[in-house]
């Protein structure tokens, strides 16, 4: 899942891309995070948003939503798990694993 996020930002440079990547990597699966909590997810994110306004957070969340990396509601944001799951390799069933031996 992290590889997919890293790929999305592979050719992006600058402070905004760095902040957005940090946020996308720091959101907890199946947990909604309020927009006001975003800037305090990790010390690194807090440092990246230091001196910036709530509008910057909002723009970053809009960009992540447009990339399909997060889902937003009025109450908060969460990773777009359905998209990210499609990039996780499928595991072989136990029967298939035994047959391969």
User: What is the domain range of residue 33?
Assistant: 2-100
18/9 Cα distance (integer angstroms): 8
| Beta strands, E only, the chain | 70-72, 77-79
101/99 Cα distance (integer angstroms): 5
Contact 46, 39 (CB under 8 A): yes
What pLDDT shows up at residue 46? 97
Listed as ranges, residues in the chain with pLDDT below 50 are none
Element (H, E) at 73: none
What pLDDT shows up at residue 94? 60
Q: 18 — alpha (psi -120 to 50), left (phi > 0) or beta?
A: alpha
Q: What is the pTM of this model?
A: 0.76
Write the CATH number for 51: 1.10.10.10
Per the structure, the count of domains in the chain is 1
What pLDDT shows up at residue 38? 96
């Amino acid at each position: 899942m992290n590889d997919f996020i890293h790929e999305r930002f592979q050719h992006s440079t600058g402070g905004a891309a760095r902040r957005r990547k940090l946020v996308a990597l720091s959101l907890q699966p199946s947990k909604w995070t309020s927009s006001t909590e975003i800037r305090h997810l990790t010390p690194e994110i807090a440092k990246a948003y230091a001196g910036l306004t709530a509008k910057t957070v909002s723009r970053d969340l809009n960009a992540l939503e447009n990339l399909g990396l997060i889902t937003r509601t009025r109450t908060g944001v969460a990773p777009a798990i359905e998209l990210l799951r499609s990039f996780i390799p499928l595991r072989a069933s136990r029967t298939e694993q035994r047959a391969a031996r």
